[in-house]
Amino acid sequence: MRVVSAIVVNAAAMLLESAPFILAGAIAVRISARLGRHVVPYLGCGCGNGPSARSLPAFAAAWIVFGPFVASARLGAAIVVERFIAKRACARDHPSMLADFAAIVPFAVGAAALAPLLPATMGSHAPRQFAVAVAALVAFVASPCALGAIGIAAVARQTAPAAAVGFLCVAGIFDLRTWMRARKHTEGHDCVAYALAATACALVAIRNGAALVNPRIAPALWICAIVFAYLAHRYRMHARPALRIAPAVMLAGCVLAAPPPTYSATETTLADAFPGEHIDFTGTLVRSGSASTLLRYAITCCRADAAPVAIRLDSAMNVRGWAHARGTLVRHGGELRLRVDSIEPVAAPADPFIYR
């Protein structure tokens, strides 16, 4: 039951994170159908149909994290795949936002189900070929949005560079989202579905992300909630029950209490950390034999792309649960460890995640 709950919550997070971009795309298409279809894939987060690596915001993020060569190669490959390989959707009709949500559901569930595999591989010291294969499989099935893919790969690079390579070579370029046969879009509306989506967006917005999406997305969810409420009123006589699945998942994720993902942390995974740096960090204390590690999860866009930030301590600590530690990073063998100056137990924070 706990696994099912975690899958529902992670899937809901991905759907909620995509809501502002789906709304923006719908507005762009209404303004100009021809222009909207060409602009949205490049200006959004990559949560729509086709290769998500076409997203220019993700291109900028990849440039900052991985450099111009990797960013340009991913963007170019995605454009080539879309132009020459991917099957195009029928553009005769314009889908409703509910139809767009329905198209994302398989990817959201796939990402939620496979989310634990990549962090587990990162912490297992697996052979390089195995790490590449697992990361590529996760990227293919999960088909994350473009910004989420960069966030996941950035964390993987710190502990499993091979996994980051496998992930970046597939995610947003040759993943399941790209290869699924395009379906004819039909205009569909359902009063109940719009009401469910409005309620879910409002609940997350009023709780400033609710540990489901990055708080920076929360203000946009207020706009989504208002628009969905208006559409629920406008189409109050329309009923298409099949369109209620995605909004129901979104609402279920808002009300279920699911803990952060589990992970056996083994290394320091702070990006750009260096020996001698002073660290002030709060996380859960994880023990593996005589070793102790402080662990917390970081969200780039939404909970579905949560990745571990782990700090290995230089000695075992007799602390349970959440703890706050201060100290200095030191080199120990081939990894960084925290030389602890002080550590004390603290109450679990209301939001267990940190945000990039």
The predicted-structure confidence for 60-80, as pLDDT tens digits, reads as follows 888 988 899 999 999 999 999
Closest CA to 46 of 136, 200, 194, 150: 150
Q: At what angle do helices 97-114 and 245-255 cross, to 10 degrees?
A: 50
Phi, psi of 5 (to 5 degrees): -60, -45
Q: Which two tokens stand for residue 334?
A: 């081939």
3-class DSSP assignment, residue 278:
strand
Closest CA to 63 of 74, 54, 52: 74
Measured at the CA of 69, the angle between CA 68 and CA 71, to 5 degrees, comes to: 65
Residue ranges per structural domain of the chain: 2-187, 278-355
Each residue of 110-127: pLDDT tens digit? 777 776 666 666 555 667
CATH entry 2.60.40 includes domain 278-355 = no
3-class DSSP assignment, residue 99:
helix
Each residue of 9-67: pLDDT tens digit? 988 998 998 898 888 878 877 776 666 666 777 877 776 667 889 888 889 888 988 89
More confident residue, 104 or 170: 170
**pTM for the full predicted model:** 0.79
Closest CA to 302 of 140, 112, 122: 112
Q: Which residues have a Cβ under 8 Å from the Cβ of 322 and sit 6 or more positions away?
A: 282, 283, 284, 285, 345, 346, 347, 348, 349
**pLDDT band, residue 89 (cuts 50/70/90):** very low
Closest CA to 251 of 6, 15, 7: 15
